[in-house]
Structure 1
C-alpha cells in the first residue's frame, strides 16, 4: 500500500524484536530452510515450495530503505507542498475523466469517493508510473528475517506463495516497493488475497497493469478497514480565536452540531451532517491550517501510520474534488530535529507516552504535548513550541 519512503510510515509503531512471536534471525540459509519446512507443513507441495524459494536472497538495500524515515519529520505544510504538485493535480483530473466509469463503480459498490483513491494512486506510485524496483519476495524475506517486525512480514511470504500457486505472483520477476507492496496502489500479498478485484473482467487480478483492478481492489480494502460509505473524511474549517484548544485533536470528538455552536465553520461549502462525530485537527497548531476530521479519517491510519502522510493524503483527496488550497496562516516555527528529540525525552521523563524518541511529531507525541500544555496553562493545541520546551 505504501511505496518507497512512504512505506516506512506503516511500520513506525509496529512490534520490535522484543515483541516478535515468530522465528527470525540467524543465518539466512537456515532461515529459508525453516520457511520452506513451514510452507510444506501448511499444505504446499515440496516441489512448489522449492521452486518458489529457489532464488531467495537477502537484500541489504531493503534494510537501508527501512531505516530512511527523515521525510516524516517534515511539517504538514512542507510535506503537503512537496508532494501535491501541479503535475499530480493535472494528472489526477485527467485520470478521473479517463476512468470515470471505474470510479462510478467504485462509488456505487464501495461508497469510496474518487478523490480518495486518486490521491493514494498519486502519492503511492504517481498514477502507476513508479511502482518500485525491489524484488518483492526478497523484500518480504529480508524483513521477515530481520527481527524488528517479523510478525508482520512472515505471513506475507506465505500469502505470496499462495498467489504464486494461483499463477498471480512470479518470485523472480515480481517487483514493487521495498516493504513488499505491489501495484498501482501498493498492496501487500495478503491484502491482495483478501481484497483483490478483477475490475476489467479479464479473469486476473493485475494490480501492476490494470487501473480498474487496482482502484477497485483499493476501494474494497478501504471498505474492509472500516470506510463508511458516502461520508466525508476531511474538510478545511475556520475556527474562532477563543476556541477551547484542549478539545482539539484526534483524541477529542464532538458532533458537528456542537462544533458549529462553538464557532467552527466550513471554509467553503457547508459542514457535514450535524449528527456526525468529528475532531478539530490542527496539524500545525492554532495559528496554522485547520480541518474537521470525520470518522472516515481514522481509516487512513489503517492504510498508513504517519500523521503527516495521512493528513496530506486526505487533504489532497479534497483538492482533487475541488476544494481550495488551504489557508496556511502563520503557525509558530517547528522545532528542529534535536529540539523535538529533546522534547520527547522530557515528556517521557514526565511519564508521557510519546512512542519512540525519534524526532517525529506523531499522534502520541501530539497527545503528550497537549497534556503538558494543559498542565502548564499554555494554549493546548498540541503544537510543540520553544516556549513549551523551555518550560519543561
Structure 2
C-alpha cells in the first residue's frame, strides 16, 4: 500500500489540513510562469533547464511528447481526507505480513543495510518501515507517467512554484540516463520509486547502491534504500539516538504538558512516573514529547528529536506515528499496548466540536471533521480550562461541557 503522497517541504501549501507538510507553507511564493499554450510553456522550461547547465539534447528528450494529464489534475483537486485513528491505521499498516517481509529484507540485503547504518547513521528499521509503508517494498509504485504528471502540475497555475523545480530535476535525471521520460511511472504528484522520492531529492541524495553507474530508485532496491538513507540523514537523523519509545503512564500526570511542541527532557517524564516499556532511560537528557495518539487511555510514546524526520517526511500525525512505531518493531520493540481509549468522534460530531472551538476563538482551520493539529491544540486548551484531563483527545464529554 502506498500512502497518499504530497509530503515533505515541497508540498506544504496543499495539505496543511490533512498531512500538512513543511517549510514552504511559510515561504513567499516566487513568481513562476504557468498556464497558456503548452508548447510555449515547454519552451520556457527547456530554456530554464539549459540555463542551469542541462544540455539542450537532454531537455528535448525529456520534454518531447509531453502532455497534460487530466487524471493528474482530477487527483490533485480531489485529495481525500484521512479519518482513521492511530489504532485503526497502525494495525492495518504495521501488519504481521509486512513485519515478516521487512525482517526478511533486512537479512537478504544485510550488506546494503550495513552501509545504511555505517555510512549514514540511520537505523535499518527506519528505512525499511518507509519502504514498506510507501510501496509495499516496491510492489505498488504508481502508474502515472512521471514526466507528464510534473508537466501537468507545473503548467497548472495552482502551485507551479512547487512543481517547476521537480520538472527541471527530472530533466537532469534524463540527462544522467537515470530515467526514461516516456516509460517511467510513479505517483500522480511526481514521486518515484520504491521509497517514493521526488526528482529533486533523488538528484541531491541519490546513491548508486548496486554499482551499475546509475541511480534507479524504481528497479534497484539497493539504490532506493541507500538513497532514502542519505535523504533521511539529510533531514537531520542523529545516529545512535531513538525516535519513538513506548511508555507506561501513571494515573495522574500534568496532561497539559503532553503533545508535540511541548518537549521536556525525558528524565523529567521519568521523574513523573512515566516508564519506558523497554526499561531504557539512558537518553534522559534528550528533549521529548509525550505523544498520546488517542488520549491518555490509549497507546503512549515518548517522541525524541529523531521523530522530527518523520514529520519532515509526512506531517500526517497518524502516518508519522505509525511509521515510527513500525520502525521500532523492526528494531526489536514489542507490539504496543492498545489500552482502552475513549471512543473517537464521527464526522458530524467532530464538526460540531470544531464549530464550538472556533466560536471560543480557537484556530482549528477549516470545519472539516478532521482531527488535525489545530483541533488537537484547541481541545487540549479547553480541556485544561474546564478542569478535564488535557490530553488532546476529543470526547463527547468535552463537547457536552462546551
Tell me the distance in 2 between the aligned counterparts of 1:342 and 1:272: 44
Match of residue 5 from structure 2 = 7
Among 176, 198, 213, the alignment partner of 1:203 is 213
Q: Deviations over 1:67-117 (max 9, x none)?
A: 555462111011111112221111011101101111111111111111111
Worse overlay, 100-109 or 68-77: 68-77
Which is worse superposed, 52-61 or 231-240?
Answer: 52-61
Candidates 128, 131, 137, aligned match of 2:147? 137
Q: Distance in 2 between matches of 1:359 and 1:85?
A: 27
1:172-183, aligned counterparts within 5 Å?
A: 172-183=182-193
**Is 2:295–2:392's contact at 8 Å kept on the other side of the alignment?**
yes
User: Is residue 7–residue 313 contact of structure 2 (8 Å, CA) maintained in 1?
Assistant: no
Q: Quote the Cα distance in structure 2 between the aligned partners of 1:151 and 1:67.
A: 17
Q: What does residue 123 of structure 1 align with?
A: 133
Structure 1: runs of 5 or more not aligned: none
Q: Deviations over 1:124-149 (max 9, x none)?
A: 11111111111111111222233333
Q: Do structure 1's residue 378 and structure 2's residue 384 form an aligned pair?
A: no
Change (3 A) 1:354 1:33: farther
Q: Offset at 1:234?
A: 0.4
Q: Which of 272, 288, 299 lines up with 2:309 in the alignment?
A: 299
> Does the aligned pair in 2 maintain the 1:237–1:264 contact within 8 Å?
yes
Out of 210, 216, 226, the residue aligned to residue 226 of structure 2 is 216
Structure 1 contact 251–367 (Cα < 8 Å) conserved: no
TM-score normalised according to structure 2 size: 0.90
Question: Which consecutive residues of structure 2, in runs of 5 or more, have no partner in the other structure?
Answer: none
- Contact 2:249/2:273, CA 8 A, preserved across alignment: yes
CA 321–131 in structure 1, closer or farther in 2 if over 3 Å, else same:
same
**Contact 1:72–1:309 (CA under 8 A) maintained in structure 2:** no
**3-state DSSP of counterpart to 1:139:** helix
Match of 1:236 in 2: 246
Corresponding residue of 2:107: 97
Provide the residue aligned with 2:159 in structure 1: 149
Figure out how many residues of one structure are paired with residues of the other and give that number: 389
CA distance in 2: counterparts of 1:252 and 1:130, whole angstroms: 37
Distance 1:333 1:64 in 2: 34
Do the aligned partners of 2:3 and 2:133 also contact (CA within 8 Å) in 1?
no
Match of 1:346 in 2: 356
How far, CA to CA, are the matches of 1:163 and 1:318 in structure 2?
34
Q: Equivalent residue for 2:270?
A: 260
1:278 is paired with a residue whose SS is strand
Question: Which SS does the other structure have where 1:280 is aligned?
Answer: strand
Q: Given that residues 232 and 272 in structure 1 are in contact (C-alpha distance below 8 angstroms), is that contact kept between their aligned partners in structure 2? A: no
Are 1:51 and 2:61 an aligned pair? yes
Aligned match of 2:337: 327
Normalised to the residue count of structure 1, the TM-score between the two structures is: 0.92
Q: Contact 1:92/1:320 (CA < 8 Å) preserved in 2?
A: yes
Contact 1:228 1:296 in 2 (8 A): yes
CA shift, 1:301, in A, is 0.9
Equivalent residue in structure 2 for 1:64, among 71, 74, 84: 74
For the 8 Å contact 2:50–2:56, the answer to whether it is kept is yes
SS in 2 for 1:237: strand
SS of 2:295 mapped into structure 1: coil
1:38 lines up with 2:48 in the alignment: yes
How far, CA to CA, are the matches of 2:3 and 2:73 in structure 1? 12
Distance 1:186 1:261, change over 3 A: same
